[in-house]
Each structure stands twice: as structure tokens, then as C-alpha cells.
Chains A and B, each alone.
Chain A
Amino acid sequence: MSKISGADIVLRCLQELGVDTLFGYPGGVVLPLYDRFPQYPDINHILVRHEQAAGHAADGYARASGKLGVALATSGPGATNLVTAITNAHMDSVPTLFITGNVTRSLLGKDGFQEADITGITMPTVKHNYLVMRPDDLAYAFKEAAYIATTGRPGAVHIDIPKDVFIEEAEFSWPETINVRGYNPPSTAEQDSIQQAAEIIDQSERPLIFAGHGIILSDAADDLRKFAEKSGTPVVNTLLGLGSIAPDHVLSYGMMGMHGSYWANHAASNADVIIGLGMRMDDRALGRFEDMNPTAKIIHVDIDPAEHQKNLETHVPIVGNVCDVLKQLTNTVQKATHPDWLSWIDDLRIGHRASMSVPEGPELTAQYAIARIADYIGTESVLCTGVGQHQMWSAQFGAISRPRQFITSGGLGTMGFEVPAAMGAQAACPDRSVWTICGDGGFQMTFQEIGTMVDAKLPVRMAIMNNCYLGMVRQWQELFYDQNLVDVDISQPDFLKIAEAYGIKGIRVDNQEDVDAAIEEAEATEGPVLIDFRVVRQDNVWPMVPAGAALSETIESAEESGMS
């Protein structure tokens, strides 16, 4: 067999893995790899403006498509710039592969120019990482890495490659087998635990499902619906679980948690059986753990056994892939309905509808703009967000109806995610309309990627909810720091001039009447497009469960919070 360079091997590996898009940024040690890109026209390298954005784009690409997202950076600063994105992807269990170059092998550990111990740095924020020391190892490393990233509980995997490994030649053969003996992702669950869970569910009077990101990651939305329908169990979603069930389904009760609805949070506190599906019992979703619902029997299905009993004592922990487990459960539970329980929640929903509605009045609010966008673009589009108030309003008013429609940074809560993640989603879904709801703060963290969108022809629609504030931080200062507003009154550039500078269309909207026309115009424009929605400054997100409070302590308004 003839030998090829490590760089060629890397590209052959990407071909074998079916990777057709990667986001990257060049630099000294990865030049041997870039040198070979022209020979691989089937691999589309999208040149970003900052490595963090390459990482978020790979993340958004993976969330929108379900495929492996790939990002590439050079050693040292290129690699460290990826760290936020790696951590973000991993915390939300997104299947991603991060490739970095490093200094030549003989210089490793000698603090050479642009050396960073990047495998040491990423170790605690990835599912696994590799430092590949010989070209013969590349194929194994890539095959293993992709397998680990995409199976079990998906996550981020990182491969670091010294420069001379790209140059040295070796034979290439794509391994038929790999053997990761320390890694055995589960599929179906043990029938014992299914039986135990089914008995509890069959006897329950007020069962409730918490449906999380796992449903989407394992393509289990149909299985969820069938199980909920057979067992008559209402469903509430975590932030990342939105889209696992359509909001107009009779058993769908929307989002729970810190900014979830009053009825979802009270249903959670009053259920007698809770079935957590592909969610990790996080504090933002559950509030104060001890008082979430001390009397409910808890069944917790997760593919990662380390999530069981981590935050909450669980009566029946079930280890398995949630799509398989749901089929097992559906086969085992009895058919049931719970009309009294549903009407109890329905009554709450009717009584507390106001705190989950677009505010009335003539002013232009972010809630109104987001609801109009959602209504106009429909469920076949993709809706991305940044982090802050506009994110929570997007969750509340985005009418998220299908898996992979909603792309948001949950676990890490990374501002600046909105622009690059949308860019990645657009690359993954060229035929869908991709909108991103941006914070005026978050947008300023990564808007340099408009340049990438223009070059790579990624027609993302960016809608800035411009409240001229770091809104969510201002909300916390108002509520929990005695209205002492410090460093949240962030100044804005003229966003239309930024649009102009990049040669894209910019639209400004400062009243309700112009909202629909602007959305229509943005949809009709080739794209990318930017809309600057000048929304009311002082609005806060309600309902809210203050950090450290119980879900039953959901506050619905400023008046109720004692601050107005």
C-alpha cells in the first residue's frame, strides 16, 4: 500500500465519516492540512472570523441536522479560542468533533511558539480527547472519536495533532473495527426496571412527564407522543426539550423551570409520579431540589447512569436510550386517562394565561416581535437564540413544534451563540429559513460572523431584540440587588451601519405596526438580513422562579415580586 501524508489521512477520515462541511480558521501548524483542501472539493471548509464561532457553528450545524458537527483551529490561541464552544456543545450533549493542530512533536512541552496544552485544557469539558502522536494512529482516532461523539449520550470530542504528524506519511486504511472497551453505550433497558416503572405509572393518578433534550437527540418524539397518549400522561418540557412535542397536542403543557409557565411548574409540584425522560434534573428546570416535589415517585430515564441520583433521589432509575426505553414502556403500561388531573392543569392554565401572554398595549415589545416572527416563519423554519431575556421570550413565544427547530445554549448559557450557531444551522439546512433572535449584548460578542455568512452565502435572518440593556442582568439587579443597576446599560453601535458595512440589508423597526412588513421583507430578501427591533427597555421576563426557590414559588409579575 502506498503512503500518504497525515494531512491526507485526516481528510480521507473526514470523507469516510461523511463529513461534508467543517468550520475553521488557519494558522501555522495546520497549514499542511489547509494545503491539501483543494484536493478534497467534496469537503466544504467554511472560513470563519473567530474560532469560537467555528465551534458554535459546528454546534448549531449538529443540532439542526443531527449529524456530527466539525470545527478546526490552529494551535495555541486558535485552540484556546475554541474552548467556550467546546464546553457549550458538550454541556448540551451535542455530537461535535473539534480538531486542533499543535506544535511539532519534538517541541511539545517546551513552550514553543503558540504551544498550548490544549488536551490538558479541554480534558474536563469533553467526552474524550486524543493527542495523536503518529500518522498511523489518525484513522483509529477519528473513527473512535466520531463513534464516541455520536453514540450514547452524545458530546464533544477533541483531537489534537502535532504539525509534523500532518506531514509524516503512513499507510491509510479505514479501520473495520474499533474496540473502545471502556465505553458501552446502552440501548434498551433491563425489563425489571421497566416493569417496576410501569407498575408505578399504572397506579398513578397525577403522572407527569418531564421531556428533555434527550428526546430530540435520540429522535424519540414519536415514541414520546405514543407513550404519553397510551398512559394519558401530560408532558412539560425543559428549555432544550422544546419541540419534542407539539404545543397544540392535548397533552402538551409547555415549558417548566425558571421561566416556565405557572401551570407547568405547579403541575410538577403536584404530580404523584414524575417521569423524567432524557433530561438531567438541572436546577434551572427543577428549582430548589428538596422542594421540587418531595412526595412524588420519580422515574428517571437517562442514557447516562451518572445523571441518576446526582441531584435528586430517584425511585426508579432507568439506564437506556430514551427512544428504546419509551417503546418498552409503551408496550408495558396499561392504557389510561386522567381527566381530573388534566382538567386541574387546564384550569390553572386558564386562570394564569396572562403571565404567559404577549403584553397588551401599543408599545413594541420583544414578546410581540418574537411571536410575530414565529407566526410568520412557521414550524419548518429554524429558530436560534442568544442568552438572556430574548432567549426566554423565544422559548415562551416561539411556538416551537418540531425537534431541531429550536437552537439555544442551555447548559452553559453562552451569550454570542446566536449568530454563529445560526450560521451553522443554515449550513446544515440550506432549504430552511433560519432566523436568529439576538440580544443586543450577545450580538455584539460575535457579529463579525456576518462576514462569514456573506462569503459562504448563508442567508441567516438576524432579529436583534434591542432593549439597549444587558436585559437579563438588569432584571436580576432590579429583583435581587435592590434596583442597583450597575454596568448593564450597554451602548449600541448603529446596527444598520453594521449591516451596511457588510453589504447586507438592515431594517429598523420601532413600532408594532411595522413589525409584519419588516419580517416579510426579511423573508423576501436574499439574505443575510438584519432587523433592529427597538423594543421597550424596561420589560422583565415573567413568570420567574427566583434562583434557589421552589417551582411552587413561581412569581408571575413585578407586583407579586414586591418590586414594581
Chain B
Amino acid sequence: MKVSRNGSRQTIAALVEDRPGVLTRVASLFRRRGYNIESLAVGTTDEQGVSRMTIVVEGTSEVGDQVAKQLDKLIDVINAAVLDSTESIERELALIKVMARPDQRREILDVVEIFRASVVDLSVSSLIIQITAANETIEALTDNLRPYGILEMVRTGAIALVRGEDTTQVVEFEDDELRRFHMESGRIPTGQLPHLSD
């Protein structure tokens, strides 16, 4: 099973402009500076034009700080910060396909229940189990399922939010043209391009 090499991992949350190339910029930074990404999850936020990345990296808290500062340096990153694990909630979704002969199902279902996971697919000789939990819990569940034979599994990577009412405020654009530039720039315009000679 995959365990961080030195046992320590840092979770970084970044609000980024939803623009072409943002993911490349972030990925390129990690490659260039030699940071090891354990997981990276990207999704929209309730703010139009702003996405949120949750990045888990292997390394000490100094590494986490450097990663956050280097990310923050990217113009398309609005804000990046290392999350304090005690001050934040972190969750990950995993789907695990496990071998399950009919006579083993009961046992496996007990494990599923203990971990508050659920079964989302059943076939003659296998089950797909879904779990939403913190990283360690998912690792523990997979450890418990391994004896039955894990056929396949997929994880979304962690997502996280800081507890309490504090949020990162994102500056809004004053005028519509500016907003359009920010959201559309770098994208091929939709619809027919004007016919211009090349």
C-alpha cells in the first residue's frame, strides 16, 4: 500500500482562476521544484471563475510552506495555504472492488459497516465498496479488505476545508469586460472565427 515515504504529508488548499493552463502551471511547478504530489483534486467553487485545488504533498511542514509560497507566486493562484490538520476537515472518496465469494459476503459486510462504508455494486464474485473518509480510515479499510483480494480501486484524492466560519475572500471584478477577460482569456472564442487570411 502507498504510504508517504517519511510518513509526513501536507495538505495545501489553493483558490485558482478557472482559466486554460492553470493546471499546467501548477503541475509544472511541482515537477520543476521536485515536490511529490500524493494527490491533487480540482473542482469548481460557488464563485464563478474560481476553482479550488486541494493538493497533498509528501514532506515536512517546511516543504509544505515552500510549496504554498511557490504556488502563491503564480499569478493565476489567488491564494494558497497549508491547512493545519487539527483545524480542518479532510475527506476523500474511494471505490474499492473486492473479491467476495457468497460465503465471504457476510464477513465483508461487517467490515463495511464498521467503517461506515457502503456497498454500491454486487456481482456473483465481487463487491464495489464506497467510502468517504479521511486518508487514514481509507488506508485502514483497504488493509482490512486486502485478505479477500482487492481487484481494483480508485481514489479521488483528498479535499479539505478549514473548520469554522472563516473563509478566503475573493475580490470581485468591478466591470463586466474585465470579468470576461479573466474568464475567457486564452480560450479559443466560441462560434465561428472571423475568416481572415493566413
B77 to chain A, nearest CB (A): 5
Which B residues are CB-close (under 8 A) to A104?
196, 198
A123 within 8 A of B: yes
Which stretch, A172-180, A279-287, A465-473, A480-488, touches the partner chain B? A172-180
- Nearest B residue to A29 via CB reads B198
In the assembled complex, A333 has its CB within 8 A of some CB on chain B: no
Nearest-neighbour CB distance to chain B for A216, whole angstroms, equals 21
Residues in A with CB closer than 8 Å to B76 are: 128, 182
Contact present for B21 and A119 (CB under 8 Å): yes
| With known contacts A124-B32, A179-B173, A140–B181 Cβ distance under 8 A | yes
Q: Chain A: interface residue count, which band?
A: 35 or more
The smallest beta-carbon distance between A109 and chain B, in angstroms, is 9
Q: Which of A171-193 contact B (CB under 8 A)?
A: 175, 177-183
Knowing A106-B193, A137-B185, A182-B17 are in contact, say whether A177-B198 is a contact too (CB < 8 A).
no
In contact, B198 and A133 (Cβ under 8 angstroms)? no
B6: chain A residues within 8 A (beta carbon)? none
Q: Which of A123-166 contact B (CB under 8 A)?
A: 123-124, 127-128, 130-134, 136-137, 140-141, 148, 163-164
Known: A177-B174, A179-B174, A309-B65. A130 touches B185 (CB 8 A): yes
Given the complex of chains A and B, what is the CA–CA distance between A128 and B181 in angstroms?
16
Cα distance, A134 to B180, chains bound together (Å): 11
**CA A289 to CA B49, docked complex, whole Å:** 42
Within 8 Å of chain A (Cβ to Cβ): is B101? Answer: no
Binary CB contact string for chain A from 99 to 113 against chain B (1 if under 8 A, 0 otherwise) = 000011111100000
| Chain A residue nearest in CB terms to B75 | A128
| CA A140 to CA B178, docked complex, whole Å | 8
Given A180-B75, A182-B76, A164-B196 contact (CB < 8 Å): yes
Contact B193 A105 (CB under 8 A): yes
Q: Nearest Cβ distance between residue B10 and chain A, in whole angstroms?
A: 14
Contact between chains at A182 and B78 (CB < 8 Å): yes
Per-residue CB contact flags for chain B residues 59-93 toward chain A (1 = under 8 Å, else 0) read: 00010011001101111111100000000000000
Residue in A closest to B194 when the chains form the complex, CB atoms: A168
Instruction: Tell me how far the C-beta of B48 lies from the nearest C-beta in chain A, rounded to whole angstroms.
Output: 13
Beta-carbon contact of B66 and A309 below 8 Å:
yes
The yes or no answer to B28 lying at the interface (CB within 8 A) is: yes
A20 an interface residue at 8 Å Cβ cutoff? no
A186 CB to closest chain B CB, in angstroms? 12
CB contacts (< 8 Å) of A127 on chain B: these are 75
Check if A548 is an interface residue, CB within 8 A of chain B: no
B74, B194, B196, B197 interface centre (most CB from chain A within 10 Å) = B196
Per the bound structure, the CA–CA distance linking A180 and B181 in Å amounts to 11
> Taking the complex as formed, is A120 at the interface, i.e. its CB lies under 8 A from any CB of chain B?
yes
Contact residues in A for B78 (Cβ distance below 8 Å): 181-182
Contact A306 B73 (CB under 8 A): yes
B24 contacts A by Cβ under 8 Å: yes
Q: Does A335 contact B (CB under 8 A)?
A: no
Residue numbers in A under 8 Å from B70 (CB-CB): 306
Residues in A with CB closer than 8 Å to B32 are 124
Q: How far is the CA of A178 from the CA of B179 in the complex (A)?
A: 10
Number of interface residues of B (CB under 8 A): 42
Residues of A with C-beta under 8 A to B17: 182
The yes or no answer to A304 lying at the interface (CB within 8 A) is yes
Contact A182 B74 (CB under 8 A): yes
Docked CA distance A140–B196 (Å)? 23
Cβ-neighbour of A175 out of B24, B75, B79, B178 (below 8 A): B178
Chain B residue with Cβ nearest A106: B193
A179 CB to closest chain B CB (Å) equals: 6
Q: CB distance A131 to B193 under 8 Å?
A: no
Cβ-based interface call for A353 (8 A) = no
B5 at interface, CB cutoff 8 A = no
Which chain B residue lies CB-closest to A181?
Answer: B171
Contact B174 A310, beta carbon cutoff 8 Å: no
Taken together as a complex, chains A and B put the C-alpha atoms of A234 and B178 apart, in Å, by: 49
Residues of B within 8 A of A180 (CB): 75
In the complex, the answer to whether A167 meets B74 with C-beta atoms within 8 Å is no
Chain A residues whose CB sits within 8 angstroms of the CB of B164 once the complex forms: none
Q: When each residue 108-150 of chain B gets 1 if its CB lies under 8 Å from chain A and 0 otherwise, what string results?
A: 0000000000000000000000000000000000000000000
CA distance A538 to B76 in the complex (A): 51
Chain A contacts with B in 346-362, Cβ cutoff 8 A: none
Closest Cβ of chain A: how far from B26's Cβ, in Å? 11
Residues of A within 8 A of B73 (CB): 304, 306
Residues on A with beta carbons closer than 8 Å to the beta carbon of B181: 136-137, 140-141
Contacts A105-B188, A133-B188; A182 near B75 (Cβ below 8 A): yes
Closest beta carbon of chain A to B32's beta carbon, Å: 5
Q: Which residue on chain A has the smallest CB distance to residue B74?
A: A182
Q: How far is the CA of A475 from the CA of B177 in the complex (A)?
A: 58
Contact A140 B170 (CB under 8 A): no
User: Can you name the residue of chain A whose Cβ is closest to the Cβ of B71?
Assistant: A306
Could you tell me the distance between the alpha carbons of A107 and B198 in the complex, rounded to whole angstroms? Answer: 10
Instruction: Indicate if the CB atoms of B178 and A177 lie closer than 8 Å.
Output: yes
- Inter-subunit contact A120/B24 (CB<8 Å): yes
Residues of B at the A interface (CB closer than 8 Å) are: 16-17, 20-21, 24-25, 28-29, 32, 62, 65-66, 69-70, 72-79, 170-171, 173-175, 177-178, 181-182, 184-189, 193-194, 196-198
Chain A residues in the interface with B (C-beta under 8 A) = 103-108, 119-120, 123-124, 127-128, 130-134, 136-137, 140-141, 148, 163-164, 167-168, 175, 177-183, 304-306, 308-310
Q: Write 9 A-B pairs (CB below 8 A) sorted by A numbering.
A: A119-B21, A123-B25, A128-B74, A131-B21, A133-B184, A133-B189, A136-B181, A140-B178, A164-B196
9 nearest A-B residue pairs (beta carbon): A306-B69, A104-B198, A164-B196, A128-B75, A181-B171, A182-B78, A140-B181, A167-B196, A131-B186
